[in-house]
Amino acid sequence: FFTAIYYSDVEKDSAGNITAVKNTTTGLKNAGTIVLNGDDSVGLTYEPGNISGTVTFENTADITSSGDKNVGMFAKRAKM
Q: What's the pLDDT tens digit per position in 8-30?
A: 989 999 998 989 998 888 889 99
pTM: 0.79
Residue type, 80: M
- Nearest Cα neighbor of 20 from 9, 30, 29 is 9
Q: What torsion do the CA atoms of 38, 43, 49, 50 make, to the nearest 10 degrees?
A: -160
* CA 15/CA 17 separation, integer angstroms: 6
pLDDT > 90? residue 49: no
User: Which bin fits 4, alpha (ψ -120 to 50), beta or left (φ > 0)?
Assistant: alpha
